Amino acid sequence: MIEKAVNVGPARLEIAYERLGDPSATPVLLIMGMGAQLITWPDGFCEELVGRGLHVIRFDNRDAGESTHMTAAPPPDMMGALAGNFASVSYTLSDMAADTVGLLDALGLASAHLVGASLGGFVAQTIAIEHPARVRSLTSIMSTTGDRAVGQPHPAAMQVFAAGPVTTREQIVQRMVDVARVTGSPGYPPDPALVADRARRAFDRAFDPLGMVRQAVASVASGDRTPRLRSLDVPALVIHGDGDRLVDVSGGRATAAAIPGAELVVIEGMGHDLPKPLWPQIAGKIAEVVARGEARRQ
């Protein structure tokens, strides 16, 4: 059941979340990527984690889903941010990290194991850097370090995202099907019907294209985390697909190289999604790093 925590973090936001499994079990917090909602974490994948004795929490970041949308912020200027003009930046990854820590506070959790996908990986890394006491282990999936020399998208991925504005439910659904076709796993092609169904549910929960741009601008403005990642002292796992055309696998390799002792798992045929055939493997690796984190707490 999706619930809402109010007055979360320094910004006093409303954050929508869902808890799955035994609340007394080891907590794993799932952080989704740019513009994506908590429902983007597949139910079956969450069940894989719950089946391994974990308590799963998934939530909507600010500017996504049913959490607070920063509609009073200035219009985000992505091209300006890429050129170094941050005048339109309304928040940073540090603010999103503080939101997440605030959710832990609201749930009465002193710490948790963090799993971040794509931009969610940026946020998880930032929490580990800025709030290390709240992090039992760190898993970064299909993510990167913020160094613009690595993890860059393939031109085909950029082209599909730049195909022009979409406003209606039907247009959004088609756009997401087109995006999945280009950025999904080449070894495990996404089912267009499932992608369309998730897009419809996401649209019905919230439609805020500027919210996704605000998150993207926040990411650019936050810069390169590499030097700070080198200071981490936490069990860490980095998972990336060798077929990722949205965040090149070089981003995952750089992340693992920056975090001392991080384990790197490069999965053949995986793109920028979580294909069902890979759920047991990915959940199993997460359970392993969680176990390492729990052993460290003994």
Is residue 199 in some structural domain? no
Q: What is the tens place of the pLDDT at every residue in 5-64?
A: 999 999 999 999 999 999 999 999 999 999 999 999 999 999 999 999 999 999 999 999
Is residue 202 in some structural domain? no
Is residue 196 in some structural domain? no
Is residue 184 in some structural domain? no
Q: What is the tens place of the pLDDT at every residue in 228-238?
A: 999 999 999 99
107-127 mean pLDDT:
98
22 Rama class: left (phi>0) / alpha (psi -120 to 50) / beta = beta
Is residue 183 in some structural domain? no
Is residue 193 in some structural domain? no
Question: 247 with 147: CB under 8 angstroms?
Answer: no
Question: φ and ψ at 110, to 5 degrees?
Answer: -70, -30
How does strand 26-31 pair with strand 13-20?
unpaired
Whichever domain contains 16, its CATH number is 3.40.50.1820
Structural domain boundaries enclosing 42:
2-152+210-297
- Cβ-proximal residues to 185 (8 Å cutoff; 6+ apart), any chain: 241, 243, 269, 270, 271, 272, 273, 275, 278
Q: What total number of domains does the chain contain?
A: 1
Q: What is the band of 256 on the pLDDT scale with cuts at 50, 70, 90?
A: very high
Q: What is the tens place of the pLDDT at every residue in 121-171?
A: 999 999 999 999 999 999 999 999 999 999 999 999 989 887 888 989 999
Q: What is the tens place of the pLDDT at every residue in 62-98?
A: 999 999 999 999 999 999 999 999 999 999 999 999 9
* Distance (Å, whole) CA 55 – CA 18: 11
* Distance (Å, whole) CA 250 – CA 240: 9
Find, among 261, 275, 249, 251, the residue nearest to 194 by Cα: 275
Is residue 246 in some structural domain? yes
What pLDDT shows up at residue 56?
98
213 Rama class: left (phi>0) / alpha (psi -120 to 50) / beta = alpha
Is residue 147 in some structural domain? yes
What pLDDT shows up at residue 266?
98
H or E stretch covering 296: helix 279-297
How does strand 236-241 pair with strand 112-117?
unpaired
pTM, two decimals, is: 0.97
Q: What is the band of 101 on the pLDDT scale with cuts at 50, 70, 90?
A: very high
